[in-house]
Amino acid sequence: MEKKYKAPLSHLLNPGHSACAGCGMIIAYRLVLDAAGQNTIVTNATGCSEVTTTQYPMTAFKVPWIHSLFENSSSLASGIWAALKYQKKDKDINIIAVGGDGATFDIGFAHISGMWERGDNVLYVCFDNEAYQNTGYQYSSATPLDANTSTTPPGKRSLGNQSYKKDMIKIALAHNLPYVATATTGYPLDIGVKVKKALAIKGPKYLQLHTPCVPGWGIEPKDTINVAKLAVQSGFYPIVEYTNGELTGKIKITKKVPVEEFLKLQKRFKHLFSSEAGKLEVAKIQKLADENIKKFDLIQ
């Protein structure tokens, strides 16, 4: 009989970690590592992906893995790349640097730019759950418009976060990376394909994964995949792929849904559905999604 599923402990990120039930990040992380294979060294920024996996003296990883600080997983990866070159092992080993959106869009931003500019042979993977979820759902510059985070709470004078999500994809492209892509827990098989494609290319690569956060977004654990898919099918989070600066791939919208369907499943947008002002904000978010659909030509 054909073996359909891997035994639980045969992955490179194993059960026993303390991520929430339904965590979009931990699913994506396992898929990234299984696609990369065991000839991989991983550097991890501080955050959920680190604290849920490596509580001393335990570890969930079966690949060499290092965590130093919040903002330097990219710099560590550059150092490992230099060391492998010095040891003449650079042809055989993958290096993956990992960080959440806070580590990537905010605190570690300069160091990622430095690594990209140097052209180091590293795949940087961002788990984008759109806020500092590990410290209790605070705003990051990856937080979308109007989201309720613990530092952008809605109130009498606020409708949540009033800034627009930073466009890291454009920033990555401005560094002339040979490979830049988004993927999502909503389309798990696409993650593995993109990791393999990226690792086959020499130079710096950027992969940004949209990973729903059950407590941070205020969703049911059973809805992780569904919410992530609705983000794509509404145009809210376009899944695209750039090779050498050219748009070479995208996940097409098979049946366009209004952003409302995506927003309504999440407590972080609940406040938009109780006032007229909120409705106007939903219209703004819909406009952003429609612009994405137009820009990337997402309708099938």
Partner 1 sequence: MKIFKLKIMSKILEGSRAIAETIKNINVGVVSAYPITPQTHIVEELAKLKADGQADFEYVKAESEFAAISILVGASAAGVRTYTATSAQGLLLMTEVLYNVAGMRLPIVMTDANRAVSAPINIWNDQQDAVTMRDAGWIMMFGEDIQEVCDLHVLAYKIAEKCLLPVMVNLDGFVLTHVVEPVTVPEMAEIKKYLPDFKLAEKLDVKNPLTLGAFATPAHYMEIRQELHDDLVASKNIMAKEMKEFKKVFGRLLTLVEYYGDQSAETVIIAMGSVLGTIKETVDEINNSTGGAHHGVPVQKVGVLKISCLRPFPVEEILKLIGDKKNIVVIDKSVSLGEEGTLAGEIRRVFYGRSKANITSVIMGLGGRDITKETILQAINLAKNRNDKAVFIGK
Residues near partner 1, by CB under 8 A: 38-41, 43-44, 50-51, 54-59, 61-69, 71-72, 75-87, 93, 110-111, 113-114, 117-118
Q: Rounded CA gap, 164 and 202, in Å?
A: 33
Long-range contacts of 255-262 (CB under 8 A, 24+ apart): 256/293, 256/299, 257/230, 257/233, 258/234, 258/286, 259/234, 259/235, 259/285, 259/286, 259/289, 260/286, 261/230, 261/234, 262/227, 262/230, 262/231, 262/234, 262/236
| Per-residue CA distances from 14 to 23, 37, 154, 294 (Å) | 14, 14, 38, 40
Q: Rounded CA gap, 158 and 146, in Å?
A: 9
Q: Rounded CA gap, 148 and 128, in Å?
A: 16
Rounded to 5°, angle at Cα 44 from 208 and 217 = 50
Rank residues 84 and 201 by Cβ distance to partner 1 and give the closer one: 84
- Helix, strand, or coil (residue 247): strand
We find the least distance from the C-beta atom of residue 64 to partner 1, in angstroms, to be 4
We find the least distance from the C-beta atom of residue 213 to partner 1, in angstroms, to be 19
We find the least distance from the C-beta atom of residue 203 to partner 1, in angstroms, to be 16
Rank residues 78 and 149 by Cβ distance to partner 1 and give the closer one: 78
Q: Rounded CA gap, 285 and 184, in Å?
A: 19
We find the least distance from the C-beta atom of residue 48 to partner 1, in angstroms, to be 12
Rank residues 110 and 280 by Cβ distance to partner 1 and give the closer one: 110
Rank residues 47 and 154 by Cβ distance to partner 1 and give the closer one: 47
We find the least distance from the C-beta atom of residue 132 to partner 1, in angstroms, to be 17
Rank residues 67 and 210 by Cβ distance to partner 1 and give the closer one: 67
Rank residues 132 and 242 by Cβ distance to partner 1 and give the closer one: 132
We find the least distance from the C-beta atom of residue 19 to partner 1, in angstroms, to be 14
